């Protein structure tokens, strides 16, 4: 599709990409995505319901877990419509402004997820190092403030992105690499100088995801030092076990995110299918696997879910 140069007064639609060369198989491929989305929606919704209904789970650790589940649901809800339109109806076009809105919410929920994982790392450190003062430090009011703070941080940091993109000029190129909109994917289509956008994106990664990951690492170093100071080997294992689920969640979020960022910035000669697959891994792996990991590794959640599903046995 030929697109003449245009500016912010008249952006034309962009084209989403599924699996090039496999368009005839898109309906069949969509079955896999539908299964993954169902798992993500059911798993995260179940965690929210269990934490809401079970009084025994009204603790800081589980409140932060409910925030993580909510952000995963938001991420899925943001991307599902365009993905289904593409794979079911072969509707590739997305209005430029709609693409920017989707991009905004994808990055906001991703950034919130990173902030929640950081908060959960602090939560585990306080629980292990100061168990007596745990509930007095992380009161319900404090948790609410943290939640609003994470939301405000994500919104304030991502909000300039769409406006900076509106300054760019777009010419012939209009095909995105994924079935959803990402900041680096959009700006690379520009035929004008987009160095400011690239610098903005790099700064955002460094001061948010980069800083969050460093602080998470430092938190776990402090946890390790604290746990190793515990005399009993049994208590050490018990303390470490409370962190396993969170460590898995951190890896599930940061490894795909790092992979997508590296490929977008340095993988110009990487086959397009690698971009596409990494994009779907980044999008779907955390929301799908986070609830599975927490249900498997957290005995309290597993017990409460079993009690909800089999009330007659209790």
Grouping H, G, I as helix, E, B as strand and the rest as coil, residue 181 is: coil
Is residue 30 situated within a structural domain?
yes
Q: Does pLDDT of 19 surpass 70? A: yes
Rounded to whole angstroms, how far apart are CA atoms 92 and 101? 17
Q: Would you state the structure tokens that stand for residue 309, as one six-digit string?
A: 């599903």
Which residues, 6+ apart, have CB-to-CB distance to 300 below 8 Å?
56, 57, 62
* Amino acid 264: pLDDT: 66
Is residue 16 situated within a structural domain?
no
CATH code of 122's domain: 1.20.1070.10
Question: pLDDT, tens digit, for every residue of 163-218?
Answer: 999 988 888 888 888 889 989 889 989 888 888 999 998 899 889 988 999 999 99
Is residue 314 situated within a structural domain?
no
Is residue 264 situated within a structural domain?
yes
Is residue 152 situated within a structural domain?
yes
Q: Under a CB-based contact definition with an 8 Å cutoff, are residues 44 and 66 in contact?
A: no
Find where tokens 């491929």 sit: 29
Residue 110 pLDDT class (50, 70, 90 cuts): very high
Residue 10 pLDDT class (50, 70, 90 cuts): low
Q: Would you state the structure tokens that stand for residue 125, as one six-digit string?
A: 């450190």
Range of the domain at 118: 22-309
Q: Does pLDDT of 235 surpass 80? A: no
Beta bridge partners of 94: 14
User: What percent of the chain lies above the pLDDT cut of 70?
Assistant: 93
Q: How many domains does the chain have?
A: 1
Class of residue 34 by CB neighbours under 10 A (exposed 0-12, middle 13-18, buried 19+): middle
* Amino acid 1: pLDDT: 38
Is residue 1 situated within a structural domain?
no
Is residue 114 situated within a structural domain?
yes
């Amino acid at each position: 599709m030929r697109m003449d140069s245009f500016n912010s007064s008249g952006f034309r639609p962009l084209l989403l990409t599924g699996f090039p060369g496999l368009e005839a198989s898109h309906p069949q491929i969509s079955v896999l995505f539908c299964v993954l989305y169902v798992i993500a929606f059911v798993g995260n919704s179940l965690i929210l319901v269990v934490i809401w209904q079970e009084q025994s789970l009204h603790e800081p650790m589980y409140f932060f877990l409910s925030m993580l589940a909510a952000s995963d649901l938001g991420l899925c809800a943001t991307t599902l419509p365009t993905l289904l339109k593409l794979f079911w109806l072969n509707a590739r076009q997305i209005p430029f402004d709609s693409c920017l809105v989707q991009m905004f919410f994808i990055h906001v929920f991703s950034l919130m997820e990173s902030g929640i994982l950081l908060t959960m790392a602090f939560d585990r450190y306080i629980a292990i190092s100061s168990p007596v003062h745990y509930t007095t430090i992380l009161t319900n009011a404090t948790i609410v403030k943290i939640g609003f703070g994470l939301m405000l941080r994500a919104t304030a940091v991502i909000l300039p992105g769409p406006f900076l993109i509106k300054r760019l000029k777009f010419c012939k190129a209009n095909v995105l690499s994924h079935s959803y909109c990402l900041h680096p994917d959009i700006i690379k289509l520009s035929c004008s100088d987009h160095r400011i956008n690239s610098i903005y994106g790099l700064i955002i990664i460094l001061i948010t995801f980069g800083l969050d990951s460093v602080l998470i690492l430092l938190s776990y170093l402090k946890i390790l030092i604290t746990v190793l100071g515990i005399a009993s080997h049994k208590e050490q294992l018990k303390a470490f076990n409370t962190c396993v689920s969170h460590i898995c969640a951190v890896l599930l979020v940061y490894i795909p995110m790092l992979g997508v960022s590296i490929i977008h910035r340095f993988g110009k000669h990487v086959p397009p299918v690698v971009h596409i697959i990494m994009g779907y891994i980044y999008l779907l792996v955390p929301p799908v696997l986070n609830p599975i990991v927490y249900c498997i590794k957290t005995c309290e959640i597993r017990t409460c879910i079993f009690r909800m599903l089999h009330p007659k046995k209790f």
